[in-house]
Structure formats: structure tokens, C-alpha cells
Structure 1
Amino acid sequence: MRRILVPTDFSDEARNAYEVAISIARRTGAAIKLLHVVETPYYTSNFSATGDVMVGSDGMEQVYMLRLLENTKMQMSELLRTVPHEGVEVVHEVDVDRPINKIKRTIKEDEVDLVVMGSKGSSGLDEFLIGSNTEKVVRAADCPVLTVKHRIPDFDVREIVLASDFKREIRGAMDRFKEFQQLFGARIHLVYINTPGAFESSNNVRQKLQYTAEKYGLRNYTINVYNDVMEEDGILHFANDIRADMIMMATHGRTGFAHLLSGSIAEDLVNHTSIPVLTVHLK
């Protein structure tokens, strides 16, 4: 792992994510990029991130953007000053764009290995209508995304939940999962959630999980079948039962209408659990 991207909106959750990224960087030797994206309405599209005025912008727009960028740079300086990062290379960038567009472009151009983002979570109508930039990144990023809600002063992972239906090919994600397990020397708990609508015999499921573990050469793992009404609830309840430090899941990154129809358990977990969630997009 060489490059970690930390998008920040200067919220407490984003600061928590930055602290976790620093802990990971100290273990891996990775460099961190702090990125803040100024998302502007259509009428400020004639302004650049450096404060240069483009042709066609008016005086009020110039004043608004100059003040916004000045305030943003002060917040970035304060974040760099107040969060210790000795021994970790940290660079920062401020840009004017749509956050998801800039984040996707940065992942590609900088060859980012991991995105660490804060998540406020949401529920009800707000979740359905608005969504969050974190969800969008989980859905679209070509690299693993670790979402963090609460402050974890000494980020250390000992117990990891790896939840899946274990029916699809997850080889691309498994290499990333094993990398995190080895990074922390953690134990992986493979878990299949048995629900009334998709029930399988425990014996068949355990054989399937054992086959998966052997196929991918897992070490230090447990096999688990957990009964619950819904998959998301089962993952959360199981993770809480074993006091998991992290949940890992693969996501297919569906977008648009297909996403609304099918939903995404990984994205729901990002919203609803206080446990850090590592998602890997299946190409």
C-alpha cells in the first residue's frame, strides 16, 4: 500500500477518518493525500481552485468564491496542525468540482490504493432522497474504501467479519481482504446470514464456507452461519456479538435505477453501523 486518499469536509467524522488513515499509513509506510472539494452551484462554474477568475464571472461570484477558498485553506491548515502525523507524508489539495467526480479522478490519476472516508450515516427519507458522498464513493471507487464514523484513537483490528453469500466469484476482493488481515494480524470470521427468504441448511453452508477458505488460502479464520430476518441485520448483530473491529464486504457498485431496485447491503451497512466497513468493488 503506497497511497491513501482521505476526502475531508472538515467534519468530526472526516477527522476521525484522517486519524485512522494515519494509523494505517504508519503500518504500511503509505503517503496520505487530504482532499477537500468545494462543490459549487452552477453559477460559480467560472472559478478555479486557485482563485483565478474565469471569463464571464461577476463581482459577487468572485467575492463569494475568494472568501470560500480562503476559509477552506484555513480549515485545511488547522486540520494539518492539530492532528499529529509525525513520520507520515501528508499532502493536501483543494479543488472546485463535484466531489464524486474529483475523487474518482484522483483515485485513477494518483493510483490510490485505499480511500478512507468519514460517514455521518442517514436513515429514513433523507437516506432515500439524498444519499451521501461516501455512499457514492463506495459504489464507484475502483479501490477499497474504508468508512469510519467514530473516533478510534489507536486503530487496531483484531476481529474482522467477512460477510458474503459466497455464491459469486470474489477472488478480486479476497486478495484485498487478506492484505488487511495480514496487516493487523487479525482473525477473519466468515459469516453467511441465513434468512427465511433464502434459507439453506447449515451443513451445506458450512461446507461452502470451508471450501472458500481453502480455495483462497485463508489462515486464522472461523466458519459461521447466523440466522436473522434480514441480511443486513444479521451482519450487524453478528459483528456486535463477536465485538468486531471491522466489517469487510464486496460490492457490485450498481448505480441509478438498478441500485434503487436492488439496494446494496454494503452501502446500508456504511449508513447504519458504527463499526468501520471496508468495501471492495468487484470489477
Structure 2
Amino acid sequence: MKTYLVPVDFSEAAFNAADFAAQLSHQSDVTTIILMNAYYISPYETMFPDPNMMMLRQEEIEEEAVDRINQLEKLKRKLTKEVKEGVQIQVRLNRSHLLRAVVDVVVQDKADMVIIGSIGNSTVREGSINIGSHVIKISKASPVPVIVVPPDYRYQPIDEAVIACDFKKVKETIPMEVLHKLLGKQAIKLLVVNIDATDNTGGKDAEQQAEETALHVMLKGFHPRYYYINTPNIISGILDFANEHKAQMVIALPHTYSFLQSILHNSISQQLAKNSTVPVLLLK
């Protein structure tokens, strides 16, 4: 995993995500971290006055752009002292909407991972925050995996990760190469948990349940531990499980179960942003 992209809106949540990326560099083979701020000015803002009869002048726009670059450079200097030796930090000011900016930088710079705070990253010039909305859009549109970092989370080396899925509905190949690249040579303990609102196990234990599925074959080389939990609230069940087992990350597989879909639903993403105490990795 060579390149991380970190969208930065200069909120505390964004700074925390940037710090997470810097610390994660010590655990992966990343070589470049891109700090990107999206600064979009509608043409109408330069043509028509706002309610206070004020119009944006080109000089003001350019001054704001310079100020944003200076803030990115300041963050770069701070993170340079925290990253693994040899990791380069670059800054980008993208003059488009955040979603377009993220996708463009991922494609142009061949980024392997997007790391974003679970709140913030509004492109509104006044800095107002709409919890979860941009996270949802980025997670859906990003062509590469996304790590969502809670605002109060402080980086810990990833030793245990919870994989949330439905044992029986995993039919596609799990992109385990992403985990290899993310974690480098470090051995990680995988806790694979199936959480359902109804008990359909027929009395089988989790290992026995998993053995009958394609999931067991895919993960065999990683020697995971399997768990089967019944709870009416899937999201709370997974997050509670991660907290109880002191896991440092929750991993949502692509196109499986209702967990990923639930996270990308507005109301649930707000719950995740407010309540999750560990980062969530959304695989692609």
C-alpha cells in the first residue's frame, strides 16, 4: 500500500485522521501521504451578492487559497516528525467539490487508501459540519478502500481486527491483499463475527457454522476465530463486540450482509460517527 489520501478540512476530526495516517505508516509499507483540501467556489458567488450584499472578489478567493495551502504545509511539517522514515508527505488544494476532488486524486495519484474523519470535511466555506454526509458519499464513490476514523480515537497498533459479515452470504473473493498491504508483515488476529437478529445456527458453534461456507476457505490461511452472535441491532452488536475484545479496527467486506449497507445509510452513519470507538475499514 504505497499512497494514502487524507481529505483535510482543518477540523479536529480531520487532523486526527491525518495523525492516524502518519502513525499507520509505521505498520505498513506506505511511501506517500497526500493531504488534500477541497476548495470549491461557485461561479455565482463571484457574480451575485450574498444576503449581506457582499460579492466575492477574485483577490479574496486567491488569498483564501493561499491561506489553505499554508495550513496544509503547517500540518505537513507536524506530520513529517511522526511518519516512518522515508515517507513523503504532499499537499494538494483541489478547486472542486470534495467528492470529485477525492475521486480525481485517487485516480491521478494512484492512491491505495482514503483515510477520513467520521465527521467534518464540509466544503462549505464557513466550515459548517454535516455529520456523516461526506463520509457516506466518499465511501460509496471511492474506487479504493476507505478508513473512517472516529474523532476521539487515538492510534493504536492494529493487533486485532473484527471482520463483520454473514458467513453464508460471502460468495465473492475477499480482497485480502488489501489487508496484507495495509498491515505489512505484521501478524494480525482476525475475529470474524456473524451477527443476526434471529438464531438460525441450529445449535452449531461458530467454527462449525463457518466450516460449511466459502468464507472458511478464503480465510483459512489467516487462522481466524469465528463468533456467531444474536442481537436485534446489527451495528451496535458489532461495535460492542469490537469494544469487548479490544479490537483496533472493524472491517466491513464489500457487497456482503447488511452491515456495509447500514453504515452507508445516513442515520446509521451518524450513529457510527457518534458511537464507534474504533476505526472502520470499508473494503472494495
Which of residues 193, 197, 209 in structure 2 aligns to 1:191?
A: 193
* 1:104 positional shift: 0.8
Q: Distance in 2 between matches of 1:34 and 1:204?
A: 46
* 1:132 positional shift: 2.1
The answer (yes or no) to whether the contact 2:174–2:218 under 8 Å persists in 1 is: no
Unaligned runs of 5+ in 1: 47-57, 122-128, 254-258
- Aligned ranges for residues 211-250 of structure 1 at < 5 Å? 211=213, 212-250=215-253
Q: Distance in 1 between matches of 2:156 and 2:32?
A: 17
Q: Distance in 2 between matches of 1:240 and 1:35?
A: 31
SS for the counterpart of 2:94 is strand
Q: Distance in 2 between matches of 1:216 and 1:98?
A: 39
- Closer, same or farther in 2 for the Cα pair 1:45/1:105, shift >3 Å? farther
1:128-166 CA-partner distances (Å, limit 9, x unpaired): x97422221111111111111246555301110000013
Q: Distance in 1 between matches of 2:249 and 2:133?
A: 21
Cross-structure match for 2:39: 38
Cross-structure match for 2:71: 75
Q: Distance in 2 between matches of 1:141 and 1:175?
A: 18
For 2:188, the aligned partner's letter is A
Cross-structure match for 1:65: 61
Which of residues 262, 265, 269 in structure 1 aligns to 2:262?
A: 265
Q: Distance in 1 between matches of 2:111 and 2:240?
A: 32
* 1:172 positional shift: 4.3
- Closer, same or farther in 2 for the Cα pair 1:45/1:103, shift >3 Å? farther
* 1:17 positional shift: 1.2
**2:199 paired with 1:203:** no
Cross-structure match for 1:96: 95
- CA root-mean-square deviation: 3.0
For 2:25, the aligned partner's letter is A
* 1:118 positional shift: 1.2
Cross-structure match for 1:53: none
Q: Distance in 2 between matches of 1:152 and 1:277?
A: 11
SS for the counterpart of 1:225 is strand
For 1:74, the aligned partner's letter is N
1:237-268 CA-partner distances (Å, limit 9, x unpaired): 11111111100002449xxxxx9xx9822333
Cross-structure match for 1:49: none
TM-score by length of 1: 0.78
Q: Distance in 2 between matches of 1:10 and 1:243?
A: 30
SS for the counterpart of 2:222 is coil
- Closer, same or farther in 2 for the Cα pair 1:137/1:208, shift >3 Å? farther
Q: Distance in 1 between matches of 2:86 and 2:203?
A: 48
Unaligned runs of 5+ in 2: 48-53, 121-129
The answer (yes or no) to whether the contact 1:159–1:244 under 8 Å persists in 2 is: yes
Cross-structure match for 2:13: 13
Q: Distance in 1 between matches of 2:91 and 2:141?
A: 22
The answer (yes or no) to whether the contact 1:251–1:266 under 8 Å persists in 2 is: no
* 1:236 positional shift: 1.1
Comparing 199-208 with 75-84, which one deviates more in the overlay?
A: 199-208
* Paired-residue identity, %: 23
SS for the counterpart of 2:221 is coil
The answer (yes or no) to whether the contact 1:266–1:279 under 8 Å persists in 2 is: no
Q: Distance in 2 between matches of 1:15 and 1:250?
A: 27
Q: Distance in 2 between matches of 1:64 and 1:76?
A: 18
* 1:61 positional shift: 3.0
Q: Distance in 1 between matches of 2:180 and 2:209?
A: 18
The answer (yes or no) to whether the contact 1:178–1:218 under 8 Å persists in 2 is: no
1:203-250 CA-partner distances (Å, limit 9, x unpaired): 276434234233343324111011211211211111111111100002
Cross-structure match for 1:176: 178
- Aligned ranges for residues 51-62 of structure 1 at < 5 Å? 60-62=56-58
- Closer, same or farther in 2 for the Cα pair 1:263/1:241, shift >3 Å? closer
